[in-house]
Chain A
Amino acid sequence: MDPLTWTGPLGQILDPALSVIAPVFALAVLVQIVMSVASAGERVVTNPDGTLSSSGGAYGMSRMATKWTGLALVALLAAYIALGAVGGPGLAGIVGGMSQQLLPVWIALIATYALSIVYKRKLGLYGKLFDSTVGMIGFGLVMFWVYAGIMAGVFDWITTHDSLSQVSGMKNKSPGTPLFGAEEGEYAWYLLGGDNLARDVFSRLFKGAWVVVQIAPLATLFAFLAGVTLGLPAGYYGGRLDTVLSFIANLILAFPVILLFYLLVTPEIKAAGIPAIMGLVLFLFPVIFFCVLLNSRYRTQPSVRTPLLIVVLGVMLWGYLSLNTENGYLINSENFKLPGLPTWLDGINPDPSVLLVFVSVVFVNAPTVFRIVRGLALDIKTRDYVAAAQTRGEGPWYIMLWEILPNARGPLIVDFCLRIGYTTILLGTLGFFGLGLESESPDWGTTINTGRQLIRAYVHPLLPPAISLMTLVLGLNLLADGLREESLKD
């Protein structure tokens, strides 16, 4: 079987068009940038400072050029993807093969966008996102990786080969190489080539996406719960509590992140039980948060509160203990042992190395969230509705969690998006230094770390995870930008 080219037979028709349109588009963008500074237009517009200037003219023409070549470029790329999804590798080469494998993702994305745009007026802030181009692009990039991660990780759909199995003769082979000795029913190519251990780069890329899509949002959520639980009282009460908590937060923030990772994520520290203790502390915050949240709301209705709290507290405590218990112990170090849940009750058993990475990422992120929440609480506690609640005789936790927190949601949602991106970068950093996750883990950071040894000879195992990480973080940043823009419009 012949090796695949990047765009296959379809490329013979579309590639020349692409090689014309792409440079023209780049040129048009450049001209537009120059024109926006150099030329005066013909239409009069009002500036934010109340003065007038003119637009249109030469600048307007360059803008039209950018718009139309840009549209043509997008249409062309869509044609590659759509025709590739239909025709597969036979019609459109590697691009077609990938597009065909990603078919469920395309369907999910189109369905999401169609539904969201139809109902966007009924969906609050999420719906408004579809008014901003930047937000839509960002959301698309993020959802692409979310869908791809879930479909590859849970349903095993997108991947073409097992992410760990090695095929002899495929070591460092370039993209599109036919599988050496492929059997019936096996996917016949390594779409993005093989890595230095002869594993399929394409399949590992999407298995790696699953690792990131699982850990990053969840770790950010835990960091937020810890930051909110501590930041609200620090800002609301102030005084000595604030001084102590802020000092501790600044202490953690003064540490270089990489040094902290090196200190926390080593087998020796793990043997000493430090991560287990940190896990015990950090995972306690969600339990406290939800109990206080519900208690402060239903305090005046004991008939509702008591059964509700028993159920919620019971489930969360079980989750808490079960998450922290490893082989029947909460802490299992040489000179100190703390027994946990018995094995038959221990339902949640995450991989210890993943848990370690998770705990350290939460630990690094929580102080920043604390500072943001504290600042917001300091600002909001002077508002009239807080004074009104105080006059009504509401408890301090009710005011913090049901008056201040909902009113701080705008900046917090924006920061949540940015922080998921930052967590993704941190996870990659850990992988890059070979800390925490096992060396055969398909996550992007670890793949970059293993690939960089051979970087000058083989680039193809390295570039896909690098570019994927970039697009995901870029998507999250654009999404946060769109959300910020739309939430400021009210």
Chain B
Amino acid sequence: MGLFILRRLGVMLLTALCLTFVVFFLTNLYPNLEKLAKTQGNFRMSEEQVDTWLSARGYTDNMFVKYGRWLGVAPGWTGTTTEGKEIAQCYGVDTPVEDRPTFCGVLQGDWGFSLVFKDDVANVVAVRLAATGKLMGFVLLVMVPMALIVGVLAGMREGSGLDRSLSTFSIATTATPEYVSGVVFIALLASSKFGLSPVLAEAGWIESKTLFSGSATKAVEDATFANFTLPVLTIALYGMGYIARMTRASMTEVMTAQYIRTARLKGVSFGNIVMKHALRNALIAPFTVIMLQIPWLLNGVVIVETLFNYKGFGWLLVQAAGNNDIELLLAVSVVSVVVVLITQLISDVGYIFLNPRIRIS
């Protein structure tokens, strides 16, 4: 078991290195650097000026050297600007000579500087990640119980009316991507001219103009029912259908097992069979699915945070990618890759622990 986890961690590390290198390579292609030089320097730079601006900051070096610098295994760049000023990656001009470090990269805990937010990348990412953590927490809180209930109810009597309606419902939710359901929710519930809100406002049932708010910007500090419901519901609904279908499949399989039949023949009531005999075994498979669904939620988070203007990690990703903020983008991709790999690891390890057939043998 220990060896298994160790080997998985090794593969994880390799994957993370490869992926960050790919991101690094794509963001450091010459046309991107040229754009960077022009936005950071000035827009009317000639090609030579762009070249000197880039080479003074070490951007024109070999790709692997640059990647090593970002990682912190190669010495940071030093150079002189056209005005003859000394500049360096790892220290400012006024840092005393003996305090000047040679390496400054991720390994030294230095994630770089975000050009868009004018702040340390580590700070920016930490703040936004906390905001998204809150969103994800609520999403999981809504999504997982709902999906499990729908799946178990649908799977306990295969082919019944309940099964058919709940299965159709879960198929419908998987067919509705976040940008569709989000838009429909805003139109129906958060528009002052269309849908439910004008009707309710006329009847005097709600105090504000709209039932829910279509913008979740304020929810980062102060999440209320009105401004946080729609984003949470939008993500939860799309992720829910898949988990529910997997739970249903697992539940129907368990319900045809021999021991369930034995229990029924012994005269155990249907409710007791479902609650005491079937449920525990039926919930092993959905655990894996839920874990693997978390990276998928990340996509939903990006869409929903853009749609509802909730300034979290997904919004940060869009800002970093849209402005080619190289160091921020690298940090963002490291975080998302780590999330993907860790959830995969947890799902594998968790499956082994939960499943007595594997655990005991």
Choice from A50, A63, A255, A462 contacting B261 with Cβ under 8 Å: A50
Contact between chains at B332 and A48 (CB < 8 Å) = no
Contact between chains at B29 and A272 (CB < 8 Å) = yes
Question: Is B351 an interface residue, CB under 8 A from the partner?
Answer: no
Please give, as numbers and ranges, the residues of chain B lying within 8 Å of A257 by CB-CB distance: 299
Question: Is B122 an interface residue, CB under 8 A from the partner?
Answer: no
Contact between chains at A452 and B194 (CB < 8 Å) = no
Contact between chains at B31 and A49 (CB < 8 Å) = no
Interface of B is mostly: helix
Question: Is A259 an interface residue, CB under 8 A from the partner?
Answer: yes
Q: Closest CB-CB distance, B213 to chain A, in whole Å?
A: 10
Q: Which residue of B lies closest to A426 (CB)?
A: B177
Q: A256-B299, A268-B35 are in contact. Are A429 and B179 (CB under 8 A)?
A: yes
Please give, as numbers and ranges, the residues of chain B lying within 8 Å of A254 by CB-CB distance: 15, 19, 295, 337, 340-341
A32 to B27, CA, bound (A): 57
Contact between chains at A457 and B193 (CB < 8 Å) = yes
A50 to B317, CA, bound (A): 54
Question: Is B229 an interface residue, CB under 8 A from the partner?
Answer: no
Contact between chains at B177 and A469 (CB < 8 Å) = yes
Q: A254-B340, A263-B27, A456-B214 are in contact. Are A51 and B265 (CB under 8 A)?
A: yes
A111 to B45, CA, bound (A): 64
Contact between chains at B161 and A36 (CB < 8 Å) = yes
Residues of chain B in range 317-332 having any CB-CB distance to chain A below 8 Å: 317-318, 321-322, 324, 329, 332
A445 to B306, CA, bound (A): 14
Question: Is B282 an interface residue, CB under 8 A from the partner?
Answer: no
Q: Closest CB-CB distance, A445 to chain B, in whole Å?
A: 7
Q: Closest CB-CB distance, A209 to chain B, in whole Å?
A: 15
Q: Closest CB-CB distance, B186 to chain A, in whole Å?
A: 5
Question: Is A123 an interface residue, CB under 8 A from the partner?
Answer: no
* Max chain A C-beta neighbours (<10 A), residue from B23, B176, B195: B176
Please give, as numbers and ranges, the residues of chain A lying within 8 Å of B275 by CB-CB distance: none
Residues of chain B in range 135-182 having any CB-CB distance to chain A below 8 Å: 153, 157-158, 160-162, 165, 171-172, 174-177, 179-180
Please give, as numbers and ranges, the residues of chain A lying within 8 Å of B318 by CB-CB distance: 258, 262, 433
Q: A456-B192, A463-B184, A478-B171 are in contact. Are A334 and B31 (CB under 8 A)?
A: yes
Contact between chains at B23 and A473 (CB < 8 Å) = no
Q: Which residue of A lies closest to B26 (CB)?
A: A263
Question: Is B134 an interface residue, CB under 8 A from the partner?
Answer: no
Q: Closest CB-CB distance, B190 to chain A, in whole Å?
A: 7
Contact between chains at A256 and B183 (CB < 8 Å) = no
Choice from B183, B306, B324 contacting A462 with Cβ under 8 Å: B183
Choice from A256, A452, A466 contacting B336 with Cβ under 8 Å: A256
Q: Closest CB-CB distance, A115 to chain B, in whole Å?
A: 27
Please give, as numbers and ranges, the residues of chain A lying within 8 Å of B60 by CB-CB distance: none
Q: A48-B158, A50-B261 are in contact. Are A269 and B174 (CB under 8 A)?
A: no
Choice from A266, A272, A425, A459 contacting B187 with Cβ under 8 Å: A459
Choice from A251, A272, A456, A474 contacting B186 with Cβ under 8 Å: A456
Question: Is B63 an interface residue, CB under 8 A from the partner?
Answer: no
* Max chain B C-beta neighbours (<10 A), residue from A35, A456, A463: A456
How many Cβ-Cβ contacts under 8 Å join chain A to chain B?
A: 169
Contact between chains at B31 and A456 (CB < 8 Å) = no
Contact between chains at B341 and A268 (CB < 8 Å) = no
Please give, as numbers and ranges, the residues of chain A lying within 8 Å of B27 by CB-CB distance: 263
Indicate with 1 or 0, residue by residue over A264-276, a CB within 8 angstroms of chain B CB atoms: 1011110110100
Contact between chains at B162 and A255 (CB < 8 Å) = no
Contact between chains at A452 and B165 (CB < 8 Å) = no
Contact between chains at A48 and B255 (CB < 8 Å) = yes
Contact between chains at A259 and B321 (CB < 8 Å) = yes
Question: Is B74 an interface residue, CB under 8 A from the partner?
Answer: no
Contact between chains at B191 and A474 (CB < 8 Å) = no
Contact between chains at B321 and A263 (CB < 8 Å) = yes
Choice from B193, B257, B264 contacting A51 with Cβ under 8 Å: B264
Choice from B158, B261, B317, B341 contacting A259 with Cβ under 8 Å: B317
Choice from A33, A425, A469, A477 contacting B165 with Cβ under 8 Å: A33
Contact between chains at A268 and B299 (CB < 8 Å) = no
Please give, as numbers and ranges, the residues of chain B lying within 8 Å of A452 by CB-CB distance: 183, 307
Contact between chains at A49 and B264 (CB < 8 Å) = yes
Contact between chains at B180 and A269 (CB < 8 Å) = no
Contact between chains at A36 and B31 (CB < 8 Å) = no
Q: Which residue of B lies closest to A475 (CB)?
A: B175
Question: Is B298 an interface residue, CB under 8 A from the partner?
Answer: yes
Q: Closest CB-CB distance, B14 to chain A, in whole Å?
A: 8
Contact between chains at B31 and A271 (CB < 8 Å) = yes
Indicate with 1 or 0, residue by residue over B27-71, a CB within 8 angstroms of chain A CB atoms: 101111011000000000000000000000000000000000000
Contact between chains at B174 and A477 (CB < 8 Å) = yes
Please give, as numbers and ranges, the residues of chain A lying within 8 Å of B255 by CB-CB distance: 48-49
* Max chain A C-beta neighbours (<10 A), residue from B183, B184, B190, B324: B183
* Max chain A C-beta neighbours (<10 A), residue from B31, B214, B260: B31
Q: Closest CB-CB distance, A10 to chain B, in whole Å?
A: 24
Q: A48-B255, A49-B261, A274-B26 are in contact. Are A256 and B302 (CB under 8 A)?
A: yes
A481 to B175, CA, bound (A): 12
Q: Closest CB-CB distance, B247 to chain A, in whole Å?
A: 16
Please give, as numbers and ranges, the residues of chain A lying within 8 Å of B303 by CB-CB distance: 258, 429, 432
A50 to B318, CA, bound (A): 55
Question: Is B123 an interface residue, CB under 8 A from the partner?
Answer: no
Q: Which residue of A lies closest to B258 (CB)?
A: A49
Question: Is B224 an interface residue, CB under 8 A from the partner?
Answer: no
Q: Closest CB-CB distance, A49 to chain B, in whole Å?
A: 5
Question: Is A96 an interface residue, CB under 8 A from the partner?
Answer: no
Cross-chain pairs A/B with CB under 8 angstroms, 20 sampled: A35-B161, A37-B153, A47-B157, A51-B264, A66-B161, A250-B15, A255-B333, A256-B302, A259-B321, A262-B322, A263-B27, A269-B26, A269-B32, A433-B318, A448-B183, A456-B190, A459-B191, A466-B180, A470-B180, A481-B171
Contacts A272-B29, A452-B307 given; 5 further ones with Cβ under 8 A?
A: A32-B165, A254-B340, A448-B179, A459-B194, A481-B171
